[in-house]
Structure 1
Amino acid sequence: MVWSSARDAGSYLWMSHPSVGVEDHSVGMVTTGPPTPAAPGAERSRIMRGIRRFDTRPELLVRSELHRRGLRFRVHLPVPPAPRRTIDVALTRARIAVFVDGCFWHSCPEHLHLPSNNRDWWHWKLGTVTARDRDTDGLLRAAGWSVVRLWEHDDVESAGARVEELWRRRCHPPSTSAP
């Protein structure tokens, strides 16, 4: 099982690629432009438009597990300082942001496989996604949120247990009074 520890260790794809520039935290984007890709065909454009951005099967399974555990949450809540970005599952009372990341788009260290066509462009594109993830995590942590990143292949029950444990620690901290 892979959690966010690989991300925290700095194994981001974007860090090692020479065509990617420096992060601009004011807008959460990378400043160097992408390599020029070959123009995609109409069929490829149709396929890309059909890829779900939210309410994916892994996200629905995680939400169902959290609900089964009695946790209530909001979905697709805007990230406080960056309203164009959204939190997949937000436990607002405990200020926990849960993201369910797809292996391809978020460069899973276990399953990353770059397409053979337009390889440089895909390297750049996926690098910007992981850079934006890291920037979003930083913005949320600076606003007092805990961030949980799950991979689409993570075990749903383990993911639910992890989020529930964090929720309990944040909502019901242990008493510090002496008996």
Structure 2
Amino acid sequence: MYSAAPEGSWASSAARRRNMQAIRSRDTKPEQLIRRLVHAQGLRYRVCARPLSDLRRTADMVFRPAKVAVFIDGCYWHGCPEHYVSPKTNSGYWSEKVARNIARDRDTDDRLTKAGWLVLRFWEHQPSADCADEIAATVLARRGGIRSD
């Protein structure tokens, strides 16, 4: 174990480094709940998949035939206007990191839209049932299907 951050580390301390490495990039609780609700509505999808093979970015849920890509964004990592709070330690680094994430999100949206995809983005704090209902309605509408509820 390190008593301090390794030379050249992005982490401000060894403890912070361990903490940050433990954060999930996929299969978060909000993602899992929304996926279960969408699956319960009879829809099938790819998890953590690339909508476009030449784009090195993955969506949380991909509906290929309907060309719908779903992202469930974490409030901290994607700069939620309601909940993001700049950190007190190493704030310059983390604020720049979140700004780069936001820019990458917009670039991803633009590239997918130009390729004919519909991008749906939700914040982790939004009600899961509402997100799942919007996803299902959108996918069914793009497939030309009619809801039966």
Q: Does 1:124 align with 2:60?
A: no
Could you tell me how far apart the structure 2 residues matched to 1:40 and 1:81 are? 36
Matched, 1:55 2:27: yes
Is 1:95–1:145's contact at 8 Å kept on the other side of the alignment? yes
Shift of the alpha carbon at 1:113?
A: 0.4
Is the alpha carbon distance of 1:137 and 1:113 closer, same or farther for their aligned partners in structure 2, counting shifts above 3 Å? same
The CA distance in 2 between the partners of 1:38 and 1:85, in whole Å, is: 22
Q: Which residue of 1 aligns with 2:107?
A: 135
TM-score normalised per structure 1: 0.72
Q: Which residue of 1 aligns with 2:144?
A: 172
Deviations 1:62-102 (A, max 9, x none): 10010011111001111416542101100111110000100
Tell me the equivalent position of 1:42. 14
| Aligned positions, number | 139
Give structure 1 stretches of 5+ with no counterpart. Answer: 1-36, 175-179
TM-score (norm 2): 0.86
User: What is the percent sequence identity of the aligned residues?
Assistant: 41
In 2, Cα distance between the equivalents of 1:122 and 1:44?
Answer: 12
The 5 Å alignment of 1:12-161 reads 40-80=12-52, 82-161=54-133
Q: CA deviation at 1:39?
A: 5.5
Q: Which secondary structure does the structure 2 equivalent of 1:84 belong to?
A: coil
2:134 aligned residue = 162
User: Structure 1: which 4+ aligned runs deviate by more than 3 Å?
Assistant: none
Classify the secondary structure of the residue corresponding to 1:85: coil
Paired residues of 1:65 and 1:160 also in contact (CA < 8 A): yes
1:45: how far off?
Answer: 0.8
Larger RCO (CA within 8 A; separation ≥ 6): 1
* Alpha-carbon distance change, 82 to 115 in structure 1, aligned in 2, over 3 angstroms: farther
| Matched-pair contact (CA < 8 Å) for 1:77–1:87 | yes
2: distance between equivalents of 1:62 and 1:82? 27
Secondary structure of the structure 2 residue equivalent to 1:109: coil
Contact 1:65 1:157 in 2 (8 A): yes
Amino acid at match of 2:84: L
